[in-house]
Each structure stands twice: as structure tokens, then as C-alpha cells.
Amino acid sequence: MAIAVLLGVGSPAGASPSSSVALRIAQYAVATATHDRPAHVVTSADISNAASISTVNTTSLDPVINVGDLFEYPRLVLFLDQKTFANICLNMPDTVGGAPKVIPCPHQAQGLWSGRAGALAVSNRAIAAAAAKGRAVSGSDVVAAAKIYGVTLRHKPTFQAGQGGVVQFSTLVEMGLNTKFTVKNCVRFPKTAYGIPEPVPC
């Protein structure tokens, strides 16, 4: 499937005063994970907890992409500054007690995240339409939902209701005037009615 997405270019690492706050949140999350019993590598729950503490998150940063959200970037966290709309990215350690690092936000990761949102919107529409007819989703439901969203299918899914299947969504991402690239997101459709679409590695 092809979905066109236009994204703004995020602020580079260190360009926003909020970078220090993002790092403070990450360091608090590391401390939480390290002092737990047993100690563990930082999880998305640790990040979300740290971000919810107003004395730690003093600029209202929102963790838009959390640890484990993207298969291709498993340790990436992307914060959105709700006042300036700047993006701040960190690479979280994959070892207990490791140090987080502020990094430039990967365009590929931003594109994957936006593309996944579009893919899931089409997927949920297809599943809901099938459920309204009293059955599980089929490939034809996905095709119909894609048409509603103006999405062009490169390879039409052919699975029948009750079979489930995986559909690949190709997203054309445009960032600024000169940056264009394509990302792929895959979604597994459920075998049962009213099921939940699941992002899977392509």
C-alpha cells in the first residue's frame, strides 16, 4: 500500500533547551530500572513513569515514540515538546545502568512511526467493517478500507475471513523540500471478528 505522509523536520540534537529535560527523564528512568529488584534494562514503562513526574519533566515533553515501539529502532525514544513542537531523540542503553544519549532524530524512524499510524487506521477500518457484518476481516475488507483512505494497493491481500494474514504498507514520506523516502510497515490481521491488528516486522 502506498500512503503519502508529509512530515516537518525535527530540531537537531542539542538545538532545543528541552534536550536537557529529555536527558533528565531518561536518566531518571535508568535509575528506576537500576534500583529495581531485580535490576533490569530500561523499559517503556520506566520512560512513561519518569515523563509523568512534573518535577522531572519540567517542560511537558511527551514520549511519542517509546522503547520497543519500532522494530527497526528498539531503543529509540522520541519526545515532542508540546510548546515548541521540537522533537528530541535519545538512544536508550540496552544494558543495566547504561547511559542514555541524545541523538539527532532519525528521519527513517519518524517516517516509520507516521506510516504505522496510517497503516493501523486502514486496518482498524477494515476490521470494524467486517465485524459489522458479523465476521472476521478478509483481504477484500482491507482493499475496501484502503480505497476509502485513498490508498493504492500494490499487492492486494487475498486472505479469506477467518484466515488472518499479513499486509505490507509502503509509505512515501516527505520531510522538508528535498527529503523523500519510502518506508514499509507490516500488519498482521486477526483470524477472529473484532480482533486487533498487530504491527509485525516486515
Residues 16 and 72 in one domain: yes
User: The pTM is what?
Assistant: 0.84
Residues 121-132: tens digit of each pLDDT: 999 999 999 999
Domain boundary, last residue among 50, 82, 105: 105
- Domains of the chain: total: 2
State the residue for C-alpha cell 511519542.
64
Residues 14 and 101 in one domain: yes
Residue 141, domain member (yes or no): yes
| SS3 (DSSP) at 69 | coil
pLDDT over 90 at 2, yes or no: no
**Where in the sequence is the domain holding 44, given as residue range(s)?**
10-105
Residues 79 and 146 in one domain: no
Helix boundaries (H) for 36-160: 44-51, 107-132, 139-148
Rounded CA-CA distance 11/184 in Å is 24
Residues 112 and 173 in one domain: yes
Residues 67 and 125 in one domain: no
Residues 86 and 153 in one domain: no
Residue of 84, 49, 96, 43 lying closest to 66 (CA atoms)? 43
Residues 28-56: tens digit of each pLDDT: 999 999 999 999 999 999 999 999 999 99
Domain boundary, last residue among 105, 121, 142: 105
Residue 2, domain member (yes or no): no
